[in-house]
Amino acid sequence: MLKTFDLLTCVKDEHDLRLVLLAGVLCFLSCLTTLHLFRRARSKGGSAITWLLMGGAAGGGGAWATHFIAMLAYTPHVPVGFNMPLTFLSLLLAVVLTTMALGVAYKGGHWRGASGGALLGFGVAAMHHLGVAAIEAPARINWAPEIVLVSIGLGVALSIMAIMLARANASGRILFAAASTQTLAIVSLHFWGMASLKITPDPTRTFAAYAFSPETLSLAIAGVATALLCIGLTTALADRRLSGQAKLFDAEILRLRQSTAWLSHHDVLTGLPNRADFNEKLAAVVERAEGQNESFAILSINLYRLREVNELHGHSVGDQLLQRLSQRFSEIAGGACFARISGDDFSMILQSEHRQQEAEALANRFVASLARPFEIDGQAIVAGISVGIAIYPNDGVAATIRAAAEAALFVARADGRGKVRFFDRALGAALHERHMLQQDIGVALARGEFSLHYQPQINPDGRVVGFEALLRWTHPKRGSVSPGIFIPIAEESGAIVAIGEWVLREACREAQSWREPLRIAVNLSPVQFRQDDLPERVDAILFETGLAGARLELEITEGVLVDDVGRATSVLRRLKSLEVGIAIDDFGTGYSSLSYLQSFPFDWLKVDRSFVSRLHCDAQSDSIVRAIIDLGHGLGLSVIAEGVETQAQFDFLAQEGCDELQGYFIGRPAEIGVFSALTAGSELKRDGVAA
């Protein structure tokens, strides 16, 4: 049986790792150049032969240089030289077969791509084994045939994959992936091949008179590497020249448009007036309104989830969405001043006698116009907006009228996509109150005003399995402030990051002190989850408090998963490597996509209290909860129901196989001292105290 240990031993004990690293770097650069030239050939039609020849030289020469640098790194414990004709023949063979492989793969269907990739892999294998045959040494050289077959199989399979990737997509990210795959093909083929060698000293064998010494071979490799560098530089210069020619027309148009009547007052992407132009027009409108005792309306508009469009479909699609939306809105606005203020924010001035009615009607037309998706690059892109409206002079003076419209927009965004909200005095007072709370939150942590309450979680048999840590704030003047009020404010201000880290540390510290190894559940806010170093922070807190990762359950909401699926997957897997459990909180109230339940490494699915509270109210609610429990179990997840407040709810959930339950019927959140007997191992009564 082949063992990976043989390969690792070969690399670690029989090679100079510095030269191995050099070989790997050179290999990647040559593969990147080769596949870039291959793409050029596929896109340039008549000039394809030039790019293919350069690609063949770069790919074959790079594979050859990689092989012989790695050979120089090899220490067989006998003096070695290299047969000159065979060494040169291996270089020629590598270049010719690589060029042929690229020629086969650059046109045609998938079978042509696969055939070219296979030929590329066999070419690298042929070069490698011919290069090994060039070794001159006072020794006998034998191969382990099964390992040779593994090396060739790996090289061919990975080369096919690399070529198919390079043909499939034009993005730079895919090109790097293809180059990395081909690098792995060459490197794995070489080192598996070297692991198959057995060199037995034999003093009767002698060097040929025309053998290369390692020093002479080094000069030959340096020459090939220099040639590769020249190919790469030539490619870069050619690309620059071609790109420059392709952009001449755009540059000329841009020169005509972007005069100093125009850039200072317009947004280049959409052609709309920019913030500076809007402010000038607003000042003029205010001056006229003050002088003639007139009024007007300001609309503040926010485009919903532009960031998500950019991340899912690319910035090019996001830019086209902004252009198309701006055109559609400009047509609706008519001659009114409509401007792009920032990335996804727009503003409009509406001068009208019936300003309130017309402003509302216009805002609703904006919202309704987005019922039709935008067709961009063959994709249907759905957009949405929120609108805030303020009326001058009812809602503020010249210096504050825009802030009033933005305050109304803030409320509209909080109410959900497609909402239109007017500013009023009550809103102003509420925003002032919110501002004061935001200031107090900023110092509450330092003043020790936060505390944790704990709510028990049990299984249907009544055994306590853990607690959920819940944040509480006791304000020195306001008293107890509802989490539903202060947590969104803390998230908006960013203070939730420091607060959330304190909660996690305090909960882990408390759990570590319990005699019973019960689980502790902690909620992560979306803002916390977006921190790049979240897994490292969690790891540091576990180390600091001494709590085993398996005793920590982190609860996240559905919304954080769709913002950036790739990043969310990476973060969750890094957390799972700490043995931390992951629960999806409030399931069924957000996106509820079955695809992410398969994609992400969850342990628990948490049924939202809104479903539990309606149990036995109607058959539909019962069916929904039953379906969620079956879904979780079908995916291998444990199911927790929160908000259990009655015996009937408890009995239904237990009968349906819900794994764990929590709620007022089981125990209200309280300071941990109330549950001291439970943390010491006692059983739970229904009122949340120990038996």
- pLDDT tens digits along 411-444: 888 777 788 989 887 777 777 777 788 889 989 9
CA distances from 21 to 69, 70, 132 (A): 10, 9, 20
Lowest mean pLDDT among 130-139, 400-409, 494-503: 130-139
Q: Where are the beta strands (DSSP E) in 262-321?
A: 296-304
Mean pLDDT of 39-51: 69
Instruction: Report the alpha-carbon distance of residue 536 to residue 542 in Å, rounded.
Output: 10
User: What's the fold here for domain 275-423?
Assistant: Alpha-Beta Plaits (3.30.70)
In percent, how much of the chain has pLDDT > 70?
A: 78
What letter represents residue 481's amino acid? V
| Contacts of residue 657, Cβ cutoff 8 Å, sequence gap at least 6 | 629, 633, 639
Mean pLDDT of 315-332: 87
At residue 2 the predicted structure's pLDDT band, cuts being 50, 70 and 90, is very low
pLDDT above 60 for 212: no
Instruction: Report the alpha-carbon distance of residue 415 to residue 399 in Å, rounded.
Output: 27
pLDDT above 50 for 21: yes
For residue 493, what is the enclosing H or E element?
helix 483-493
CA distances from 279 to 179, 347, 349 (A): 50, 10, 10
Q: Count CA within 13 A, CB hemisphere, residue 525.
A: 25
Strands lying side by side in the sheet with 345-350? 337-340, 345-350, 296-304, 384-392, 420-422
Same fold: 275-423 with 447-679:
no
The confidence score (pLDDT) of residue 411 equals 82
More confident residue, 181 or 24: 181
Q: What is the mean pLDDT of the chain?
A: 80
What letter represents residue 364's amino acid? N
pLDDT above 60 for 80: yes
CATH 3.20.20.450 for domain 447-679, yes or no, is: yes
The confidence score (pLDDT) of residue 665 equals 92
Q: What would you report as the CA-atom Rg of the chain, rounded to the nearest whole angstrom?
A: 34
Instruction: Report the alpha-carbon distance of residue 526 to residue 591 in Å, rounded.
Output: 15
What letter represents residue 103's amino acid? G
Residues in the chain: 691
User: What counts of helices (H) and strands (E) characterise the chain?
Assistant: 26, 21
Q: Residue 477: exposed, middle, or buried by beta-carbon count in 10 A (0-12, 13-18, 19+)?
A: exposed
pLDDT above 80 for 523: yes
The confidence score (pLDDT) of residue 690 equals 47
At residue 60 the predicted structure's pLDDT band, cuts being 50, 70 and 90, is confident
The residues spanned by each domain of the chain are 4-245, 275-423, 447-679
The confidence score (pLDDT) of residue 29 equals 82
What letter represents residue 230's amino acid? C
pLDDT above 80 for 369: yes
Enter the pTM of the model: 0.49
**Which among 360-369, 450-459, 677-686 has the top mean pLDDT?**
450-459
Angle between helices 483-493 and 496-512 (to 10 degrees): 120
pLDDT above 60 for 591: no
At residue 89 the predicted structure's pLDDT band, cuts being 50, 70 and 90, is confident
What letter represents residue 328's amino acid? R
191 and 124 Cβ atoms separated by less than 8 Å: no
The confidence score (pLDDT) of residue 519 equals 96
Instruction: Report the alpha-carbon distance of residue 226 to residue 320 in Å, rounded.
Output: 43
| Residue 606 C-alpha from the chain's centroid | 24
The confidence score (pLDDT) of residue 655 equals 93
Instruction: Report the alpha-carbon distance of residue 214 to residue 199 in Å, rounded.
Output: 18
